[in-house]
Amino acid sequence: MKFNETYKTACVSTQHMQLNDVRELKVMCDEQMAMVAERETGFFLKLFEDVSENHYPKLSTELSALIKEAAEQGFRCIEFDCDAESVDGAKEFDW
């Protein structure tokens, strides 16, 4: 058996989110055709191949920049997890 389609996932600490980002991601989970899935330790966010489509105006500027950077680096999913390592150069928040 051979999987013909794969994509890269970036693992990102939830410390790079603000509390309002968490609230918005929870809302996004309930949308039809959701690109977000919630789990006990964080979220999965699928990314569009076209970087310009990964635009979420209700998310913080900092998180939006991180999402854009991941998409530009070729990632197609971000796993936000409370146990994941921090991203070098990205701002962290206490909430």
List pLDDT tens digits, range 30-64: 987 889 999 999 999 999 999 999 999 999 999 99
Provide the pLDDT for residue 35. Answer: 94
Nearest to 7 by CA among 78, 87, 80: 78
Residue with tokens 């991601």: 25
Task: Please state the pTM of the whole predicted model.
Answer: 0.92
**Average pLDDT, whole number, for the chain?**
95
The beta-carbon contacts of 65-73 under 8 Å, at least 24 apart in sequence, are 66/12, 66/16, 66/90, 70/10, 70/12, 71/47, 73/10
**Mean pLDDT over residues 62-81, rounded?**
97
